[in-house]
């Protein structure tokens, strides 16, 4: 969107907007201020929630009333979920790493130590050098007796083999550093992984029987016990007991606890636990009046309350405001650009905003009362079923009744979208309200009496019931294969009630809209179109010719409006009053002169033109005096547009040529404005066509058609119809309609023979009977 187009959409702000109250109220700034208030009101309505749950709910306390779910809920049972998580944690066995290379590594160290000691002895090393070798290779310092015995044995290969055998036997079970590492393995056992020399995990084994696992202290104690019990062998320098004592100092843990892997597996186990969800259907009974609250009641009720309050109100409000602003702005911009008849005025926008926010506020009240109203039904009714009875369609019905079908369609889309968003984003309800609103706008298209509104409500109710039946068949029956006839009939009945309530709401709201926004509805038009209206009764007395002319114009205009899809009733009533100004000076207009003296013969052309044009101002004065609505009084100046009063203008030109003076064309033009609506354009054409055809000396169909086409072409070329959104196709249909009506009015009559001439030739009936 270009900057120029965006500025055109928003409207520019001017310093002069604040120069006066009237200027401010009609400024772009005030318009956007109203828009901001509308968005604020809608956002507050959609964001605010009502807590219908009783306070101070405790286990064992008596429920004061029946509590049913107002909508579908999925509530997390935190306690049950936590229990499952703890069970999952218990099922995770601690992870250990089993180092198979620990014992071979010690044996290799023993071999290297004995090999080094043997070589040192060959070089006549003393005991101190031998101790250094053992300390560097084995990491231990034997006692003096042990060193003496080993040196006496010359670190023989048999002694080396015996020591390695003692170490191998002592490290055959799994050895952990301490008993604390085995904490938590009593129930779940442990899982150990075989480590390669490079430290990578290979296979893992779950061990439930821990009898093969011992601690380092326990392994050493067993060796020392064996050392004490071992018999001495004669002839050996190094006794088995001494070797076992050395072995007890060489062994080390081969099973180590992997805390990181264990915690990782616990975290995975906890995350894999699904939350325990309690599904509650809309309308489902949670607790009945008089029953005591049980723990599971508290879980459900607190879950409902938490879902309604856990979302930050400010965040929800801001998000809703952004959504509403975008929805309204984009919908308005698109509709204004691409829908030809979508041209609401500023007053219309104020009206639409008022209807929208009142509608949403009514929905808020209805949803708050739904849980209470449900208790009055003798049978179980879901909250969603009660939502079907909310007359959301009344907004589109009122919009179509006051404005037009294009604006009503756009309103229906916006209202159903916001209502669906308000009702927890229920797509089924949004579709239901949209179809219902469109049906309502269609049903109320023509209102000829107040009973038509009730008939429209019945039609909308029937459409609502059909839509609900379709929704239930698609969303319930097709899935569950269960046809709950009473449930479906209840929903359809409430939907039908919603249609009736929409018509009742419209009957109440329409007069208020007429009063507050100065609209003229079809009912008001029917009242104005009564020929007993004081202004019309006065016109038939003071200007009978004008009255007759207005009646013919009304017939033409009504037929033409119906032909092009306009408002025939508005065109007819507007025609009745379009020339009321001629009552002030009726004798100056040809239709009221009745063949008498023409007063214009004694006046100058300029004066005659001034008198003729004054009937517009006089008509507006009379409209104000008789409190005609603006929608009707607008026809008075617009039915002449800015046309020139040609007869007196041409007469003035002739006189000017003779006298050599100049003529100002502006003095011979009507002040305007040009027709702003299609109905006004139709009346302009009908007014000219009726007068022109009446002046024809011979009114044959061909001449009527030629005159009609001539008048329409003349007004078209003079650009009188440029501002009333009328197409060439419309003009063609209007011309056909005018011709059809006028030919019917001025058709040739049969010439009946003179009664006196034929009297002698007619045989009396009684003579015929006597024959």
Residue 770: pLDDT band (50, 70, 90) is: very low
User: Nearest to residue 598, comparing CAs of 540, 536, 526, 647?
Assistant: 647
User: Nearest to residue 685, comparing CAs of 742, 748, 632?
Assistant: 742
Top mean pLDDT of 237-241, 311-315, 527-531, 600-604 is at 527-531
| Residue 349 token pair | 């926008």
> According to the model, what pLDDT value does residue 385 have?
79
pLDDT tens for 722-755 read: 998 889 999 999 999 999 999 998 876 555 555 4
Top mean pLDDT of 73-77, 115-119, 267-271, 340-344 is at 267-271
| Residue 265 token pair | 């597996």
Report the b/e string of 257-290 with b at 16+ CB within 10 A.
bbeebbeebbeebeeebeebeeebebbbebbeee
Q: Name the CATH topology of 532-745.
A: Hypothetical protein af1432 (1.10.3210)
Secondary structure of 404-433 as H, E, C letters: CHHHHHHHHHHHHHHHHHHCCCCHHHHHHH
Between these two residues, 206 and 584, which has the higher pLDDT value?
A: 584
Q: Evaluate if residue 24 carries a pLDDT over 80.
A: no
- Beta strand 213-215 with 174-176 is parallel
Give yes or no on whether 313-519 and 532-745 have one common fold: no
- Rounded CA separation 566/438 (Å): 19
pLDDT tens for 151-160 read: 888 788 888 8
pLDDT tens for 59-73 read: 777 776 667 676 677
Q: Evaluate if residue 84 carries a pLDDT over 60.
A: yes
Least confident of 75-84, 379-388, 613-622: 379-388
- Beta strand 95-99 with 255-257 is antiparallel
pLDDT tens for 403-423 read: 888 999 999 999 998 888 777
- Rounded CA separation 704/693 (Å): 6
Mean residue pLDDT of the chain comes to 83
Between these two residues, 57 and 508, which has the higher pLDDT value?
A: 508
Between these two residues, 4 and 289, which has the higher pLDDT value?
A: 289
Domain boundaries, the chain: 54-77+284-310, 91-267, 313-519, 532-745
- Rounded CA separation 213/676 (Å): 99
pLDDT tens for 533-560 read: 999 999 999 999 999 999 999 999 999 9
pLDDT tens for 347-370 read: 899 999 999 999 998 888 887 777
Q: Evaluate if residue 32 carries a pLDDT over 60.
A: yes
Structural contact between residues 75 and 299, judged by C-beta atoms closer than 8 angstroms: yes
- With H, G, I as helix, E, B as strand and everything else as coil, classify residue 200: coil
Q: Structurally, what CATH architecture does the domain formed by 313-519 represent?
A: Orthogonal Bundle (1.10)
Task: For 214, list phi and psi in degrees, rounded to 5.
Answer: -135, 170
- Rounded CA separation 687/502 (Å): 40
Give me the helices (H) in 230-312, please. Answer: 240-250, 259-272, 295-309
| CA 57 from centroid of its chain's CA atoms | 35
- Average pLDDT on 272-287 reads 81
Top mean pLDDT of 337-341, 673-677, 765-769 is at 673-677
> According to the model, what pLDDT value does residue 206 have?
80
pLDDT tens for 187-204 read: 678 888 877 644 454 577
Q: Evaluate if residue 705 carries a pLDDT over 60.
A: yes
Q: Which residues contact 76 (CB under 8 A, 6 or more apart)?
A: 275, 276, 277, 278, 303
> According to the model, what pLDDT value does residue 595 have?
66
| Residue 691 token pair | 């007068």
591: left (phi over 0), alpha (psi -120 to 50) or beta: alpha
Residue 55: pLDDT band (50, 70, 90) is: low
End-to-end Cα distance, the chain: 96
- Rounded CA separation 671/164 (Å): 125
> According to the model, what pLDDT value does residue 544 have?
92
> According to the model, what pLDDT value does residue 379 have?
65
pLDDT tens for 421-456 read: 777 656 788 899 999 999 999 998 777 677 788 899
pLDDT tens for 302-330 read: 777 777 665 556 777 888 899 999 999 99
> According to the model, what pLDDT value does residue 720 have?
92
- With H, G, I as helix, E, B as strand and everything else as coil, classify residue 649: helix
Least confident of 75-89, 292-306, 658-672: 292-306
Between these two residues, 635 and 648, which has the higher pLDDT value?
A: 635
Q: Evaluate if residue 771 carries a pLDDT over 50.
A: no
């Amino acid at each position: 969107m270009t900057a120029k187009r965006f500025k055109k959409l928003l409207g520019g702000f001017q310093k002069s907007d604040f120069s006066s109250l009237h200027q401010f109220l009609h400024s772009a700034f005030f318009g956007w201020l109203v828009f901001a208030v509308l968005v604020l009101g809608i956002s507050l309505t959609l964001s605010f929630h009502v807590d219908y749950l009783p306070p101070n709910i405790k286990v064992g306390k008596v429920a004061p009333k029946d509590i049913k779910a107002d909508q579908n809920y999925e509530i997390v049972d935190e306690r049950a979920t936590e229990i499952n998580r703890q069970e999952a944690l218990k099922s995770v066995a601690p992870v250990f790493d089993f180092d198979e290379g620990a014992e071979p590594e010690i044996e290799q160290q023993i071999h290297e130590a004995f090999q080094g000691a043997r070589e040192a002895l060959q070089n006549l090393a003393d005991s101190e050098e031998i101790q250094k070798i053992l300390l560097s290779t084995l990491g231990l310092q034997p006692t003096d007796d042990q060193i003496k015995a080993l040196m006496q044995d010359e670190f023989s290969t048999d002694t080396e083999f015996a020591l390695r055998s003692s170490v191998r036997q002592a490290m055959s079970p799994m050895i952990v550093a301490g008993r604390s590492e085995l904490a938590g393995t009593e129930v779940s056992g442990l899982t150990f992984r075989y480590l390669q020399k490079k430290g990578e995990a290979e296979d893992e084994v779950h061990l439930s029987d821990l009898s093969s696992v011992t601690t380092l202290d326990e392994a050493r104690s067993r060796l020392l016990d064996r050392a004490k019990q071992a018999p001495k062998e004669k002839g050996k320098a190094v006794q088995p007991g001494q070797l076992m004592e050395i072995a007890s100092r060489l062994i080390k843990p081969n099973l180590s606890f992997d805390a990181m892997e264990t915690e990782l597996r616990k975290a995975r186990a906890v995350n894999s636990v699904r939350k325990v969800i309690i599904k509650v259907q809309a309308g489902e009974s949670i607790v009945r009046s008089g029953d005591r609250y049980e723990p599971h009641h508290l879980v459900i009720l607190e879950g409902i309350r938490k879902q309604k309050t856990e979302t930050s109100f400010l965040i929800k409000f801001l998000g809703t405001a952004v959504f509403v602003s975008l929805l309204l702005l984009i919908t308005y911009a698109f509709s204004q650009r691409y829908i030809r008849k979508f041209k609401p005025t500023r007053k219309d926008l104020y009206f639409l905003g008022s209807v929208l926010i009142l509608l949403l506020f009514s929905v808020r009240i209805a949803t708050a009362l739904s849980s209470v109203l449900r208790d009055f039904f003798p049978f179980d009714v879901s909250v969603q079923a009660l939502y079907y009875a909310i007359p959301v369609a009344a907004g589109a019905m009122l919009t179509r009744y006051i404005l037009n079908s294009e604006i009503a369609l756009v309103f229906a889309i916006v209202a159903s979208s916001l209502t669906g968003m308000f009702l927890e984003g229920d797509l089924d309800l949004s579709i239901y309200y949209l179809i219902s609103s469109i049906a309502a706008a269609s049903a109320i298209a023509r209102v000829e009496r107040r009973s038509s509104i009730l008939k429209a409500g019945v039609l909308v109710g029937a459409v609502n019931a059909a839509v609900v039946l379709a929704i239930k068949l698609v969303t319930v029956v097709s899935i569950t294969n269960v046809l709950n006839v009473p449930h479906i009939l209840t929903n359809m009945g409430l939907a039908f009630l919603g249609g009736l309530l929409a018509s009742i709401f419209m009957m109440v709201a329409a007069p208020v809209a007429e009063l507050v926004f100065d609209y003229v509805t079809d009912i008001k038009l029917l009242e104005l179109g009564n020929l007993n209206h004081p202004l019309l009764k006065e016109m038939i007395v003071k200007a009978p010719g004008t009255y007759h002319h207005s009646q013919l114009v009304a017939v033409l205009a009504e037929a033409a409006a119906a032909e092009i899809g306009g408002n025939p009733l508005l065109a007819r009533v507007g025609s009745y009053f379009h020339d009321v100004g001629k009552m002030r000076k009726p004798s100056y207009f040809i239709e009221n002169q009745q063949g008498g003296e023409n007063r214009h013969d004694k006046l100058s052309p300029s004066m005659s033109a001034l008198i003729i044009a004054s009937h517009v101002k006089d008509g507006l004065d009379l409209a104000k005096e008789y409190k005609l609505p603006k929608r009707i009084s607008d026809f008075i100046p617009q039915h002449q547009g800015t046309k020139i009063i040609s007869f007196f203008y041409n007469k003035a030109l002739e006189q000017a040529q003779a006298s050599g003076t100049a003529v100002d064309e502006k003095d011979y033009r009507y002040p305007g404005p040009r027709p702003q609506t299609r109905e006004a354009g139709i009346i302009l054409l009908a007014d000219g066509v009726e007068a022109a055809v009446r002046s024809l000396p011979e009114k044959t169909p061909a001449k009527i058609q030629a005159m009609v086409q001539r008048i329409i072409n003349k007004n078209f070329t003079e650009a009188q119809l440029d501002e009333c959104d009328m197409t060439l196709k419309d003009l063609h249909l209007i011309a056909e309609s005018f011709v059809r009506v006028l030919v019917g009015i001025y058709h040739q009559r049969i010439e009946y023979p003179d009664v006196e001439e034929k009297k002698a030739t007619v045989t009396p009936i009684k003579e015929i009977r006597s024959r």
